Amino acid sequence: MIFLSFLLWMGEILICKIPTPIFINLSHFEGICLLGFLIGKQGGKVKLLGLKTEIADLSHMRRSFTLVDVLLLLAIFGDAPWAIKCSLLCEQGNLAVIRPHSVTITEFGAVGDGVTLNTKAFQNAIFYLNSFADKGGAKLFVPTGRWLTGSFDLISHLTLWLDKDAVILGSTNSDDWPVIDPLPSYGRGRELPGRRHKSLIYGRNLTDVIITGDNGTIDGQGSIWWDWFRNQTLNYTRPHLVELMNSTGVVISNLTFINSPFWTIHPVYCSQVVVQNVTILAPLDSPNTDGIDPDSSDDVCVEDCYVSTGDDIIAIKSGWDEYGISYGRPSKNITIRRLVGQTTSAGIAIGSEMSGGVSEVHAENLRFYNSTTGIRIKTSPGRGGYVRNIYISNMSLTDVKTAISFTGRYGEHPDEYYDPTALPLIERITIEDVAGQNVKYAGLLEGIEGDTFLDICLLNINLSVTSKSPWNCSYIQGYSDTVSPEICEPLRERIFPDHYSDCYCLSHHLQSSSNQNRGGAWLSW
């Protein structure tokens, strides 16, 4: 019997088949997607012509796959671009991670009456569990109750688990949320110059962190912070509900997050992040309560989430003006799927803080209702950076003011030192298969004079629009096909085969990135 073993090493998949090794030239992210497809496949061992493949995933579990699985997967890459997005990254949220050590928060004196402050109990429990980090990690169990606490820090190889009726409550005393330095890619607090409050649940320089449970709740009790913001009595920028910095292997799943003081879930400078099966709620008039904000982060999967908040459901960011340009860490390789929600802002936004760059964003199966905007890209002179290679498909809109919005005049800056000549590059944005009912404007697509947004491609869009001027376009170039109501003049050119390389979509990306980035054939067999 011949065995094929797969290894992901420095962005290459090496198929070791005795006696000749075979290389499939893939980017690092595509390699992860291929492995994820295989690892995610269920079922037992199947023999085909005496051939069997065997693969070990990152959690040391072993499953078997036939050679035909591999061949079929490679064959369909060009025709079914979203098939590969069932990646290891998204699948890791479904893998049961067994921690050999576990404690309950009550063992450290916590009282779940909603009144007793339990910050020390959380801190002491996590300090104790740190001794097991090199022994397989540990789990902190939060049982039924209302557990009031200030900010606390997570550690590597930790699972924070909330029982079904467990509620972690953020303190309403600002002193329980310490003040920390601003992010280097922002140069200051996002709302106010200077420092910022630490998030309720915080982690930095971590590996293998899981925040999950049986649909327990994390409640930021943000109304007091919203009042301070409206009354302009804050001294520092408001805290997020959850923030992980410089961390790898983060899973946030099966929980409800409510009433964040500021952005709800904020992975920043992170890699390999999964946010899965979460509900995020805040009043529609609550200020800046974004749902999920991947920020200068890569290999991110967001799926099966419901969000209803006072700001963007998802906002992809990468730093602010000269600070983001200098820091230079982009957000890239981001998958969003099966997302439902309502908002007074955008369903999916990119920017406005995008100075480190945003690329390779793939979103599908989106449903937004009672919202201001479906998809929004926001930037301005001074941002620099880029937004490119964005693919969005299968979006349903109901009672939405504007289906698609691009703005090059979102002109908020951190200070007077930004460079107004630093112009953003916006290119290769493809949006297709969009249906909408009771939409006021189909699209407000406004680039920047002297900095046209390029290769904007809209396909198969059917919107029931109430405005007599459904499209407003300026400083924009691209193509369209099967768009109703009739598209604006700058995008009226039909998409013909000669334009396929201009209109970004995943299947073309897979083939071209392999050839361009590695100088090899798509598949050397």
Looking at 311, 321, 455, 502, which residue is catalytic? 311
What value, to the nearest 5°, has the Cα angle with vertex 82 and ends 291 and 13? 105
Helix-helix angle 28-40:506-518, to 10 degrees: 130
73, two tokens? 């997967």
391, two tokens? 């693919």
CA distance 325 to 417: 13
The amino acid present at 191, given as its one-letter code, is E
CA distance 327 to 220: 30
String of DSSP letters for 352-410: SS-TT-EEEEEEEEEEEEEEEEEEEEE--TT--SEEEEEEEEEEEEEEEEEEEEEES--
Helix-helix angle 28-40:67-76, to 10 degrees: 130
CA 327 to chain centre: 20
Compute φ and ψ for 32, nearest 5 degrees: -60, -40
Closest Cα to residue 512, out of 425, 428, 426, 392?
428
Kindly give, in sequence order, each residue whose CB lies less than 8 Å from that of residue 495, ignoring residues fewer than 6 positions away. Answer: 457, 459, 479, 480, 481, 503
CA distance 363 to 82: 9
119, two tokens? 């910050």
- Which runs of consecutive H residues, i.e. helices, occur in 418-505? none
Handedness of CA 9, 11, 13, 18 (dihedral sign): negative
Residues found in the chain: 525
- 265-268 β-sheet, strand order: 152-153, 201-204, 242-245, 265-268
146, two tokens? 């209302």
CA 59 to chain centre: 22
- The tokens 């397989």 sit on which residue? 136
419, two tokens? 């460079």
57 tagged catalytic = no
Give the 3-state secondary structure of residue 267: strand
Instruction: Please say whether the beta carbons of 356 and 318 come within 8 A.
Output: yes
Closest Cα to residue 320, out of 349, 353, 287?
353
438, two tokens? 């009771």
Handedness of CA 218, 219, 220, 226 (dihedral sign): positive
Active site residue ranges:
311
